């Protein structure tokens, strides 16, 4: 699609959040990374409803756009959209984090199910994304590579190797989206390693940079669609655990087990 459909995007975001609730309840596991998955859902919804050339009919074509969830711990966001694309089914979702499941607590590459790359070691997905972008240029494939990374992930040196390298290789087909929810596993991002102005840092590496509200569908869409001849990075200011009052800006929900009562409360809020 070339134009924003706001209503359909909002409806998709709601379904994605419902899928995350279902997976969290099924898993009964504190490793489901509830908060970090929810913070990037509106970005995922805009991408797949309006922009990315990727669906159940072309998900193996060389010409397809690529989507990489570099912050792999937020895997429920990825599994949720793959379910909506009908690349995953009910049995897959209901097996999340169970023995013998293909849906682990971090994505494991499975092209038959639409999982482009294994991620989890922070910074690795960003590096692979740049590799995809270089390969597409060499093969003269006119696609886009979209990757979501976390602000805590920007503590990794490999992220800054990409920041240095992508402009050198003229990778205008690479779009990085930083999910800046201001938390990481052990606390506030600024307390652990203060990144200060991400905006000025990325600009100094010669990227096209914009900063947005990562839950405003129009802002997300406009930032992604903006034409540029440079590699692009979008700094999306988000809320960890976005969508449910008990989890918003509550870093306990980086790792926390969802109870049945909380599940029922969340369903009410979702409506």
Task: Name the nearest CA neighbour of 152 among 129, 175, 177, 180.
Answer: 180
* pLDDT tens, position by position, 37-53: 999 999 999 999 999 99
The position carrying tokens 């570099």 is 70
* pLDDT tens, position by position, 173-192: 999 999 999 998 888 888 88
pLDDT at 58 over 50: yes
Mean pLDDT of 241-261: 93
Euclidean distance between the first and the last CA atom of the chain, given in angstroms as a whole number: 27
pLDDT at 165 over 60: yes
155 in Cβ contact with 124 (< 8 Å): no
Q: What are the start-end ranges of the E strands in the chain?
A: 66-69, 145-150, 174-180, 183-184, 187-188, 208-213, 232-237
C-alpha of 253 from chain center: 17
pTM of the model: 0.96
Span of 14-18, 72-76, 254-258 with lowest mean pLDDT:
254-258
113 in Cβ contact with 102 (< 8 Å): yes
Query: What domains are defined for the chain?
Result: 6-270 (3.40.50.970)
* pLDDT tens, position by position, 117-163: 999 999 999 999 999 999 999 999 999 999 999 999 999 999 999 99
Mean pLDDT of 4-33: 93
Q: Report the C-alpha gap between 34 and 147 in whole angstroms.
A: 19
pLDDT at 32 over 90: no
Q: What are phi and psi of 27, to 5 degrees?
A: -65, -40
- Both tokens of 54, joined, read 């990727």
Q: What is the pLDDT, as a whole number, of residue 1?
A: 44
């Amino acid at each position: 699609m070339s134009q924003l459909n706001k209503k359909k995007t909002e409806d998709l975001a709601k379904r994605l959040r419902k899928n995350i609730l279902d997976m969290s309840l099924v898993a009964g596991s504190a490793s489901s990374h509830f908060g970090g998955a929810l913070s990037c859902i509106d970005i995922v919804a805009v991408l797949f409803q309006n922009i990315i050339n990727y669906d159940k009919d072309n998900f193996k074509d060389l010409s397809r756009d690529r989507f990489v969830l570099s912050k792999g711990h937020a895997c429920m966001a990825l599994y949720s959209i793959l379910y909506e694309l009908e690349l995953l089914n009910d049995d897959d979702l209901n097996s999340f984090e169970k023995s013998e499941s293909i849906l682990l607590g971090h994505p494991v590459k499975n092209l038959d199910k639409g999982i482009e790359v294994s991620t989890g070691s922070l910074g690795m997905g960003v590096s692979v994304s740049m590799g995809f972008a270089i390969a597409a240029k060499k093969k003269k494939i006119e696609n886009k590579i979209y990757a979501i990374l976390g602000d805590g992930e920007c503590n990794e040196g490999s992220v800054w190797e990409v920041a240095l390298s992508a402009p050198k290789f003229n990778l205008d087909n690479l779009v990085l989206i930083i999910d800046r929810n201001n938390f990481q596993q052990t606390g506030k991002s600024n307390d652990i390693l203060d990144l200060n102005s991400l905006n000025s840092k990325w600009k100094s590496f010669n990227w096209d940079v914009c900063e947005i509200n990562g839950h405003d569908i129009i802002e997300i869409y406009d930032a992604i669609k903006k034409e540029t001849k440079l590699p692009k990075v979008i700094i999306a200011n988000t809320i960890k655990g976005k969508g449910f009052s008990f989890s918003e800006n509550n870093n306990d929900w980086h790792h926390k087990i969802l109870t049945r009562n909380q599940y029922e409360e969340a369903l009410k809020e979702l409506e």
